[in-house]
Structure 1
């Protein structure tokens, strides 16, 4: 039974052991039908809720257990690598969120999962606001490069440990004088941060940061819809070679990222094509990408955008209510919140 099938006027649902179990499950599965809701709450910072996906917890545990093998790098180094990556990705996502708020948007959630982080950002519908939100993430990594580089020098490193081929890090580490845990941790943080920066900004595959930058730079010239279609089509094209490279190179993470990006691009492309209520958009002529949208397309888009904004606000309110239920129980809901949830329940039952 999903949340839309529940009766919200029964205050005894959360009583006793069964109620406690239901509350625990709701904290994990905020919305059982949504894969990205299978997560555990970690912390709340500046009003931004950070959750960790269940699969990420399993992935971390499996990686640490696997590191206990004799031919592995060892538990301590594996834990340092996982922890460093987690912190740097989280800082990256906070960069997106804080920039989104700075330009007048909303950002209240971050999900950490095996393929990185997903920040729930809703900047104003302007290319400049969206671009600032996107660039702030890698901007955090860029700002950390000199800081972590100085830390490498501080623990005894030299230029060869700071300037090296980021795609062949083993050589730099093996030839370095680093042997202690602290030295390796500092160097690994520097290298991981550098890799995150390059990966996000050199791979123009939507929804990676570089792919979003391409879309946002095209937006003022060709309009939102065409820029999105271009970016998602580019992402679909790039997902194939990137996925094959990851598959042949033995990088399951790279393959998974390419697969996720490809699926996301396809879904986003279908959504954008449906914005025109007069019917599906004709095949896009990329040679005319510099031409602006026609007035009729803009009017249709504005109408669809306003409808989407209303629906997003309603969904955000339902998400907030469900989060409140998960944290405080059914008894904490006000009458207005119960009515809002019942209205959404009725819409779900009617398939609206």
Structure 2
């Protein structure tokens, strides 16, 4: 996610703060300072930081459980509406997803239990706590209980929604389970927006996030459903135009205008893949360096795909690299095609229109 900065790294996972979190913290602190004074402002800021420490521990509950199933988490991002742990992939088995989803709320249960034991707070006392006049420990206790209750709302892709999908997937296929969970999640999203209009504006942002996140998860599940039976050869664009690293940018422009390609493999003098040059880099290079610039100075690094590589795996590789397309090699190392996100999206649209369509392109 852009507009965020790394504040630490734990066990291979970057902890990043979104800039809106900093703005939120400053806004709350300044507002409290103007209304109630410096001491109250400091107390509020400390409380918010402790709340987000609890949120971070919640996310690391997910991360730790996912790691048990061999799934890494490159980063976790904190924003005013909560934390987002960016797992490389979701567990394939429903029971594993169930455990990963429950791990986060269970961390908050543990924190609440520690606070109750450490400060002698009983369950009967919780209902009598006046939040405005409560101690710091009492407020943190209430917040952790609220985090558990809120996160377990079955609004996919929140934790409760992931629990719902995992349970559904035990009795139906993952794509159907995801589609149903996503519809339920989007229903809750509308409810959050409606409640937010009258009570708490933050719920509006939560609702909007849930709606689009659920739609994205549904699309990803639909892709996995149809792509699981395909290889790179089935989706690649064969016989691409190839550029040499020493070619001038003017030659690349000619290739762009005379072919349907938007991304071009670049080879070194010995014929090995040296990189990829896409249309955007070409236009920027033409503007900044002119037509006589060498293609090799403008290309990006390449991670070639193999022609018989599973399509799901290849797509994940392209997505993680932040690329639009990647070159495809055969078993001898020769360039035989290009796999692009755009072409995969077109195949998904075809599969949605005619499920089970047999793609024979390679």
Distance 1:271 1:314, change over 3 A: closer
| Structure with the greater alpha carbon radius of gyration | 2
Unaligned 5+ segments in structure 1 are 1-35, 179-183, 278-296, 320-342
* Residue number in structure 2 paired with 1:129: 96
For residues 349 and 60 of structure 1, the distance between their equivalents in structure 2, rounded to whole angstroms, comes to 38
* Residue number in structure 1 paired with 2:314: 310
Unaligned 5+ segments in structure 2 are 236-308, 324-334, 345-362
1:63 is displaced (CA, Å) by 1.2
Distance 1:75 1:314, change over 3 A: same
Q: How does 1:1-352 map to 2 (within 5 A)?
A: 36-70=1-35, 74-121=40-87, 122-153=89-120, 160-161=124-125, 163-164=126-127, 170=130, 174=133, 184-201=135-152, 203-249=153-199, 251-275=200-224, 277=226, 299=229, 306-316=310-320
Distance 1:243 1:298, change over 3 A: same
For residues 247 and 186 of structure 1, the distance between their equivalents in structure 2, rounded to whole angstroms, comes to 31
> Any conservation in 1 of the 2:228–2:310 contact (CA below 8 Å)?
no
Q: Which has the higher helix share?
A: 1
TM-score normalized with structure 1 length: 0.64
Distance 1:298 1:107, change over 3 A: closer
Q: Which has the higher strand share?
A: 2
> Any conservation in 1 of the 2:224–2:312 contact (CA below 8 Å)?
no
Q: Which SS does the other structure have where 1:216 is aligned?
A: helix
> Any conservation in 1 of the 2:101–2:162 contact (CA below 8 Å)?
yes
1:50 is displaced (CA, Å) by 0.6
Give a deviation string over 1:204-260, Cα, whole Å, max 9, x none. 1111100010001111211100000000000111211221112111x1112211111
1:272 is displaced (CA, Å) by 3.6
Q: Which SS does the other structure have where 1:37 is aligned?
A: coil
Distance 1:146 1:48, change over 3 A: same
> Any conservation in 2 of the 1:97–1:108 contact (CA below 8 Å)?
no
Distance 1:56 1:247, change over 3 A: same
For residues 351 and 276 of structure 1, the distance between their equivalents in structure 2, rounded to whole angstroms, comes to 17
Q: Which SS does the other structure have where 2:33 is aligned?
A: coil
Q: Which SS does the other structure have where 2:119 is aligned?
A: helix
1:77 is displaced (CA, Å) by 2.4
Give a deviation string over 1:5-24, Cα, whole Å, max 9, x none. xxxxxxxxxxxxxxxxxxxx
Q: Which SS does the other structure have where 2:17 is aligned?
A: strand
For residues 189 and 8 of structure 2, the distance between their equivalents in structure 1, rounded to whole angstroms, comes to 33
Larger RCO (alpha carbons 8 Å, 6+ apart): 1
For residues 298 and 316 of structure 1, the distance between their equivalents in structure 2, rounded to whole angstroms, comes to 18
1:314 is displaced (CA, Å) by 4.1
